[in-house]
Amino acid sequence: DTEVTQTPKHLVMGMTNKKSLKCEQHMGHRAMYWYKQKAKKPPELMFVYSYEKLSINESVPSRFSPECPNSSLLNLHLHALQPEDSALYLCASSQGASHSYEQYFGPGTRLTVT
């Protein structure tokens, strides 16, 4: 199984809502990532978890809160988002926390903030 799954596929939320994005992999990977991608732009790294510990936070606003409950799961909790946060949110995983390892990406969650 070389698949990274993300739920939901689409999410529409108001600026006062609280929602969560979920990512799951069963490849035994020990590094997991969140990216944000706006239309016609490259993916922007948000967070990196290595062995279930947050290792990189790219100065992301606190309205985005990551969580790694175990080595297979990665969540992104959303609260008080702004319309400019509307984007495709991508999750990825890799065998190790190093550039030398191939990253496997999920299909993404399309988020719209109204």
Partner 1 sequence: LAKTTQPISMDSYEGQEVNITCSHNNIATNDYITWYQQFPSQGPRFIIQGYKTKVTNEVASLFIPADRKSSTLSLPRVSLSDTAVYYCLVGYNNDMRFGAGTRLTVKP
Residue tagged 């550039």 (tokens)? 99
For partner 1, the binding residue among 13, 27, 45, 60 (CB under 8 A) is: 45
For partner 1, the binding residue among 33, 68, 78, 81 (CB under 8 A) is: 33
- Of 71-90, binders to partner 1 (CB under 8 A) are 88, 90
Task: Indicate whether 108 belongs to the interface with partner 1 (CB under 8 A).
Answer: yes
Question: Distance from first CA to last CA of the chain, Å, rounded?
Answer: 36
For partner 1, the binding residue among 48, 74, 76, 111 (CB under 8 A) is: 48
Chain centroid, CA 20 distance in Å: 10
Q: Tell me the closest approach of the beta carbon of residue 16 to partner 1, in angstroms.
A: 28
Give me the residues paired with residue 84 across strands. none
Asked if residues 77 and 18 have their Cβ atoms less than 8 Å apart, the reply is yes
Longest CA pairwise span in the chain (Å): 40
Note the residues at the interface with partner 1 (CB under 8 A). Answer: 4, 31, 33, 42-45, 48, 50, 55-56, 88, 90, 92, 94, 97-100, 102-108, 110
